[in-house]
Amino acid sequence: MKLLLDEQIDVRLKTALAELDVYTLVDMCWQGLEDGVLSERINEGAFAFSSPLTKIYPFSRI
């Protein structure tokens, strides 16, 4: 499963998910892209999941 972590997510989560194929926006050189362009790149990269966890868990400290 190929996952993409949003810029706001602590990169240490990548280590915790080591059994998965996890990338950050920095890994992909996609930091700072506008949402539309980023969505296109995510679709082209065939990521199974890509969402900022801060939107899913707005009160958590991830």
Within a domain: 41: yes
Instruction: Name, in order, each residue with C-beta under 8 angstroms of 13's C-beta and a sequence gap of 6 or more.
Output: 5, 22, 62
d(CA 62, CA 56): 11
Q: Is residue 62 part of a domain?
A: no
Token readout for 22 is: 């996890």
Amino acid at 10: D
Tell me the pTM.
0.68
Instruction: Note down the domain range covering 12.
Output: 2-56
State pLDDT tens for residues 22-52: 998 889 998 888 888 888 888 888 787 665 5
Q: How many domains does the chain have?
A: 1
18 domain-assigned: yes
Residue 61 lies inside a defined structural domain of this protein: no
Distance of alpha carbon 7 from alpha carbon 52, whole angstroms: 8
